[in-house]
Amino acid sequence: MQENAKFPDLSDAERKALEELMPDEINEIISSGIKRRHFLKLFAVTGTALLASHMLGIEQLMARSAELSTPPPLPIENGINLSFKVNGATKKLMVDSRMTLLDMLRERLELTGSKKGCDHGQCGACTVIVDDKRVLSCLTLAATCEDKKVTTIEGLATGNELHPMQSSFIKHDGFQCGYCTPGQICSAVALMEEAKNGEASYVTANVREKKAAVKLSDEEIRERMSGNICRCGAYPNIVDAIREVHGDKAVAQLWQFAEGTN
Amino acid sequence: MSETGKPISRIDGSMKVSGKALYSAEFNQPNMAYVFPVRATIAKGKIAAIDDTVAKKEPGVLAVISHLNAQKLKPMDMQAQMKAGAAFLGENLPPLQSNVVHYPGQFIAMVVAETYEQARTAAYKVKVRYTKEKAAVDLKAEIPNSKRPKMFMGEEAQVNEGKAAPLLAASAQKVDHKYSTPVEHHHPMEPHATVAVWDGKDRLTLYDATQGVGLTGAIAAYFLDLKPENVRVVAPFVGGGFGSKGLWLHTLIVAMAAKAVGRPAKLALTRQMMQTNVGHRAATVQRVALATDTNGKLSVMRHHTDTYNNLTQFFEPSGKQSLVLYKAPLREVTYNVAQLNRSTPTFMRAPGESPGTFALESAMDEMAFKMKIDPIEFRIRNHTTKDPMQGHDFSSEYLLDCYRIGAERFGWSARSIEPRQKRQGRYLVGYGMATATYPGGRSAASVKVVMDAKGKVTVSTASIDIGTGTYTVLAQTVADALGIPVDTIEVRIGDSSLPAAPLAGGSQTTASIHPAAVEACVLLRRDLAALAIADPDSRLSGQRLEEIDFAKGKLFVKSDDKKNDSYLNILSRSKRTELEACATTLPVSGAGLTVPSALCTPRETPAEQNSDIKQYAFHSFGAQFAEVWVDEDFGTIRVKRFTSVQDVGRIMNEKTARSQVIGGVIMGIGAALMEATDYDQRWGNPVTRTLADYHVPVHLDVPPIDVHFIGKNDPHISPIGARGIGEIGITGVSAAIANAVFNATGKRLRDLPLTPEKFYEV
Amino acid sequence: MRAFKYTNAPDSASAIRTVSANPAAKFLGGGTNLVDLMKEDVMHPTELMDVTRLSYTKIEKKNDGVSIGATATNSTTANHELIRKNYPLLSMAILAGASAQIRNMATNGGNLNQRTRCSYFYDVNMACNKREPGSGCAALNGVNKNHAILGWSEKCVATYPSDMAVALAALDAVVQVEGPNNSSRSIPFAEFHRLPADHPEKDNNLKQGELITAIDLPANQLAEKSYYLKIRERSSYAFALVSVAAALVTEGGRISEVRIALGGVAHKPWRATVAEKWLTGKEATTANFKAAAAAEMKNAKPLQHNKYKVGLALNAITRALEGAMQGGAYGTMEAESTSKN
């Protein structure tokens, strides 16, 4: 098909989305040819958010931009050749020794789910999981990640299926603006493992008693999540969301109105 | 069944929890350059010289730009700016236009480079020499030189000046104390960021973390001397704002940088810059005097505020609530506003009411205690059902219900009037309450609704979702107005090329855009009906328009619902690919926080909808209740539980509404217990520079928060019946907490925040 | 952040060789403080030697005590069975610091090399003798409510920020160090960090190129009765206004051994030797704890904005000793449960 030749690496869904998004420019785009990452850039340039639950297809398109890495900007001083895994995929690239893991994810690997909130280890928005531990990507130099395994918010879902923690955050409205959310969720996911390992916190009643696994009280969840700041103030909802996943049973929602009232 | 009011989950939720929602700094562009600003290190003076020789030689540097070589911007001209909808610049200081320094941290130059690392490193190497001048850095010292501004945002600033003194002097029962509040910073989690992309010399796209795409576009167009329609501002997701995300100078700087290097450019502010370059809530010293008759009825209220500003007409209006609450024959509200060489103060969540209710509601508690009346009973005795200044009825007011329901939910009856009566282990336990209030406003708005041949509906308006739930509640409203499911609706906001909407501020997005959305749906249904009526193949052929109703994606005749036709069939037979309607609502109070020129031209102007400020006063009310546990040995205070009952009109979505109130309460806990920016008294620079120094509440600081809505429609603000909800949650919170601390300990703390050293000072 | 060369240290000998040869080189641990300071342009090493992959990660019995590796993370250390059981004071202190994420990154050696959080030190436009010797101390007459009340000098009033180190001071830890030419030495904890005196630019007594390899904890009888109390402006994720590591041994109601160290009050973890001496041999009563704390605080010299710290420290010492007497259980000290409703 003529058109397919012009869109060598776009899927049908992507082509369709492109046409819907930019009917005016479509001819021009077709005549000049388009590569997948250009398409994604264009998509980003149009900017307008398209939102509704049926827009999952578009979400996936945006998400897949994560597969692409921009070419290294030149010149690079003290360049480090790096090979590591992000969300299961091996990445090889050269980075400036000054570049943090966070900036590498956001500026070089198009994985913008990890957020820069303070850039100094004071807010937790950049939390990612490195070798099974939650860490702050803003204070992690990219150069130190050689051979390591990084999981970001983009890597938590399985296909279209959200991680239970992600679903629970939606259910309990564990966010407002959404900017601290990826960090909160990565932190909460790692916290579940820490609890299974019986790790202690400052509010653990007695650190001398080592247990195989700990059941976290609300106070424990709050203390252990205190490295993730939420300025919108979704804290109580986040605690509910975590409690539901941690306790493996539904946590009641507090909305007072019955359906259809008012 | 109505979708409106249902606690549905956010329709943008899956994007936010999966990291797919894109915020401004994430719109990376091919060949993009990075900007890093250089900030002034003195409070006042002139730049004598800028030495950029080292910086320019740094690898990757594309340009070093200062007042010496920056593009000339159109100068300030308030009249012209007002006309262009561009008056709302954060600070009245077009950037990089002169060598004058007005405050520490002012942007005075910038480095543009290939990478972020290179730009930042080179910026550190720009050397600046200054001629210093004596700066005004201390509020107390400058109050003698302060002004008494006549107006605040178009209203009389000084009310009944000097009239309270004789009444106070004659009164038997009175309290008269000073309350002070510190500088607070908004600190939304997403730092302000802009990506600027030029298309030729005349067209500009800004991906900008803003609360108002329309206003940002208008201001950028004005100063960059572009046609407003040639500046597009895009912000599909904004990581919080709280008042700080208007247009600040970095947005213009990035556009200037991009133009200078002929490439797209990006600047994301550092957290340190957010302490000096995107506004703050100014410190206040407030003096509140109350007097009552022997029955506990207020005879006079006086509320005076000392505060400051710089490079703006705005000042913290902390007397606002004292013009609205309680029945008192006379109230005097006055301000002294000094000018400091400190970064520009601005609107922050409930500007005025947040610090103002701390003072007034603490004073109310003090008076109640003095008279040994329960604080709720004292407020009930002084309740007013009319706006005390204008004498208008409130459009809808259930404050007494808030007190009653709150007291029941909280268990207020267990409180004793005398302090130090309740202990829990090492802790002294206290209960406190306060009244919450915030005005209900509306601005002009246009909303466009498009239905395509497949039945998909797209609703678009240049509004913003800063975490408030705009996406979700707009879909709910349109679902009801068209009788279709929420998940067939696509919401487009956050783009200035869409029909105009107010900036997301002043708690008025819902009240403003939803009437327009409903009106657009009315127009769309009317057009569908007209098509059906004119179509011989329709079961509605030849029916009268006024006989036609709608439900479940269909139109039908009221008297006989078998005579019906679906939207889809009507459209498909009409051979149209889509049907579109755009409606504008313009409250009698005016365009408000909306750029009028971007309103869509309505096919007909809908009748104005009850928002008659000449008949009614529009205010939300609430009651806040706190239980605190105080460890006297350390002066540490923990809020153990909180109840907030709010009368904010109709609730559009119980889930997102509750979240907003919780958020307000938590920011109020921050204001009460920890938030403060300290400045060095010698040089005027902030010494709380980061989130390690400026403490905001963390998870462990926050108790369970019980939120209850009265949920009664406001019949006058609009046909929707909802007033805003973004700000009232913070009001009264710090007073409720301070009042609870008094109830626990007997210590009256009048200087926020209530950090441990305050205990040792009393 | 200025340009620097990054090297993943292949072995300790060459790492030490490189860093000792270049006065502007630094070892890199978890980076939680160093990277932060480099972004602020407070520190600008030309070379970073990443030592996190060297094999100093073991936490093991040594003699009768325990040795903790310098590149083991803070969280591994706090949760290690040997530490939780035998040195709960150290676990609590580590867990009181920073956040879970930071504790997962921070190394034990790096923790001891933390620098002050004095905001004048962090602001490169302010005078600071620690950052730039001879430039002056802007904090001395500035906003100094978070600053030192003990042991400060006119040159520097900064405090040392670590929680972990406060416990290590109380536990009489010994810092094991390797240096150039296969040298090694042991530094008693009390001699590791310094008071500012005339050289606040030196936080501790390590020489350029000396690498911490382990921290040894001698055996003690303190595990039963020890407590770490931290007072801060918010309930978590904040530096201490005052913190206290307290541990004691009682025999027949009398105190046979007591350790008290304070954080947030001085340029180094402050061992409260006056209070310790006062208490030894006395009955373990609140009145005695208070008297001992008062004796210690007699030496306090508060600055303009931190007079509250004297009273706060006095009460905190008392409370921490009480907490230790109660077995160090958190629940005995803090309100765990939310009250009714």
Provide the number of structural domains found in chain C.
2
pLDDT, tens digit (0-9, with 9 covering 90-100), for A115-154: 999 999 999 999 999 999 999 999 999 999 999 999 999 9
Say what the pLDDT of residue A70 is: 52
Q: Which domain holds residue C20?
A: 5-52
Asked whether residue C64 is assigned to any structural domain, the reply reads no
pLDDT, tens digit (0-9, with 9 covering 90-100), for A163-220: 999 999 999 999 999 999 999 999 999 999 999 999 999 999 899 987 789 999 999 9
Say what the pLDDT of residue B445 is: 93
pLDDT, tens digit (0-9, with 9 covering 90-100), for C138-184: 999 999 999 999 999 999 999 999 999 999 999 999 999 999 999 99
Beta-carbon separation of C234 and B674 below 8 A: yes
Residue boundaries of the structural domains of chain B: 13-134+189-240+245-275, 145-184+280-441+616-761, 445-598
| CATH number of the CATH domain containing C22 | 3.30.43.10
Report C:3-32 residues touching A (Cβ under 8 A). Answer: 3-6, 8, 28, 30-32
Closest residue on chain C to A184 (Cα): C101
* A79-154: CATH topology: Ubiquitin-like (UB roll) (3.10.20)
Q: What percent of chain A has pLDDT over 90?
A: 61
Beta-carbon separation of A52 and B475 below 8 A: yes
Does B582 contact A at CB distance below 8 Å?
Answer: no
Closest residue on chain C to A224 (Cα): C100
Q: Which of B3, B189, B643, B708 to mutate to test the interface with A (most CBs of A within 10 A)?
A: B189
pLDDT, tens digit (0-9, with 9 covering 90-100), for B249-293: 999 999 999 999 999 999 999 999 999 999 999 999 999 999 999
Report C:131-190 residues touching A (Cβ under 8 A). Answer: none
Q: Which residues from A are below 8 Å from C236, CB to CB?
A: 202, 222-223, 226
CA B17, B19, B20: angle at the middle one, nearest 5? Answer: 110
Q: Are B381 and B350 in contact (CB under 8 A)?
A: no
pLDDT, tens digit (0-9, with 9 covering 90-100), for C173-186: 999 999 999 999 99
| CATH number of the CATH domain containing C280 | 3.30.390.50
Q: Are B697 and B404 in contact (CB under 8 A)?
A: no
Please state, in angstroms and as integers, the Cα–Cα distance from residue B404 to each residue in B407, B621, B664, B725, C97, following that order.
5, 13, 21, 21, 43
DSSP assignment of B513-538: HHHHHHHHHHHHHHHHHHHHHT-TTS
| Distinct helix (H) and strand (E) counts, chain A | 10, 5
- Sign of the Cα torsion A237, A241, A242, A246 reads positive
Closest residue on chain C to B628 (Cα): C339
Closest residue on chain C to B678 (Cα): C143
Closest residue on chain A to C103 (Cα): A135
Asked if the model's pLDDT at residue A248 lies above 90, the reply is: no
Q: What is the DSSP letter of B729?
A: G
Pairing state between β B427-439 and B619-631:
antiparallel
Say what the pLDDT of residue A71 is: 55
Asked if the model's pLDDT at residue B665 lies above 90, the reply is: yes
Does A120 contact C at CB distance below 8 Å?
Answer: yes
Q: What percent of chain B has pLDDT over 70?
A: 98
Say what the pLDDT of residue A260 is: 34
Asked if the model's pLDDT at residue A73 lies above 60, the reply is: no
d(CA B643, nearest CA chain A) in Å: 13
Q: Are B364 and B378 in contact (CB under 8 A)?
A: yes
Which of A117, A222, A257 lies nearest to residue B700, judging by beta carbons? A222
Beta-carbon separation of C88 and A208 below 8 A: yes
Of the two residues A11 and B584, the one the predictor is more confident about is: B584
d(CA C222, nearest CA chain A) in Å: 12
Which of B425, B682, B693 lies nearest to residue C119, judging by beta carbons? B693
Given the structure tokens 């190497």, which residue do they identify?
Answer: B125
Beta-carbon separation of C95 and A204 below 8 A: yes
Asked whether residue C234 is assigned to any structural domain, the reply reads yes
Query: H-type helices in A7-119, by residue range?
Result: 12-21, 26-32, 36-46, 56-64, 101-103
- B454-468, B575-589, C313-327: which range is least confident on average? B575-589
CATH classification of A164-247 is 1.10.760.10, yes or no? no
Compute the distance between CA of residue B606 and CA of residue C31 in angstroms, rounded to an integer: 62
Q: Are A133 and A126 in contact (CB under 8 A)?
A: no
Chains that touch B (3 or more CB pairs under 8 A): A, C
Closest residue on chain B to A232 (Cα): B663
Say what the pLDDT of residue A48 is: 38
Does A196 contact C at CB distance below 8 Å?
Answer: no
Asked whether residue C81 is assigned to any structural domain, the reply reads no
Does B274 contact A at CB distance below 8 Å?
Answer: no
Asked if the model's pLDDT at residue A50 lies above 80, the reply is: no
d(CA A218, nearest CA chain B) in Å: 9
Residue boundaries of the structural domains of chain A: 2-67, 79-154, 164-247
Which of C234, C305, C311 lies nearest to residue B701, judging by beta carbons? C234
Asked if the model's pLDDT at residue C52 lies above 80, the reply is: yes
Of the two residues A52 and B477, the one the predictor is more confident about is: B477
Asked if the model's pLDDT at residue A75 lies above 80, the reply is: no
Report A:12-71 residues touching C (Cβ under 8 A). Answer: none
d(CA C43, nearest CA chain A) in Å: 13
Say what the pLDDT of residue B613 is: 66
**Closest C-alpha among B24, B71, B379, B416 to residue B255:** B71
Beta-carbon separation of B699 and A116 below 8 A: no
Q: Is the ipTM of this complex over 0.90?
A: yes
Asked whether residue C212 is assigned to any structural domain, the reply reads no
Say what the pLDDT of residue B601 is: 74
DSSP assignment of B591-620: STTS-GGGSPPPSSPPPP-S--TTTEE-EE
Provide CB contacts within 8 A for C221, sequence distance 6+: C249, C257
Asked whether residue C76 is assigned to any structural domain, the reply reads no
What is the CATH architecture of B445-598? 2-Layer Sandwich (3.30)
Query: Which residues of B are designated catalytic?
Result: 727
pLDDT, tens digit (0-9, with 9 covering 90-100), for B699-724: 999 999 999 999 999 999 988 999 99
At the fourth CATH level, the homologous superfamily of domain B13-134+189-240+245-275 is Aldehyde oxidase/xanthine dehydrogenase, a/b hammerhead (3.90.1170.50)
**Closest C-alpha among B698, B673, B674, B677 to residue B688:** B677
Beta-carbon separation of B687 and C120 below 8 A: yes
Compute the distance between CA of residue B36 and CA of residue B366 in angstroms, rounded to an integer: 50
Helix axes A36-46, A56-64, angle to 10 degrees: 120
- Sign of the Cα torsion C186, C190, C195, C200 reads positive
d(CA A227, nearest CA chain C) in Å: 5
- Give the pLDDT band (50/70/90) at residue B132: very high
What is the separation, in whole angstroms, between the first and last Cα of chain A? 55
- Give the pLDDT band (50/70/90) at residue A254: low
Q: Which of A100, A131, A136 to mutate to test the interface with C (most CBs of C within 10 A)?
A: A136
Q: Are C288 and C279 in contact (CB under 8 A)?
A: yes
Which of C30, C100, C329 lies nearest to residue A227, judging by beta carbons? C100
**Closest C-alpha among B66, B503, B193, B146 to residue B310:** B146
- Give the pLDDT band (50/70/90) at residue B609: low
Last-in-domain residue among C37, C52, C67: C52
- Give the pLDDT band (50/70/90) at residue B591: confident
Beta-carbon separation of C308 and B756 below 8 A: yes
Amino acid residing at B690: T
What is the CATH architecture of B145-184+280-441+616-761? 2-Layer Sandwich (3.30)
Q: Which residues from A are below 8 Å from B659, CB to CB?
A: 173, 176, 232-234, 237
Beta-carbon separation of A139 and C99 below 8 A: no
Say what the pLDDT of residue C329 is: 78
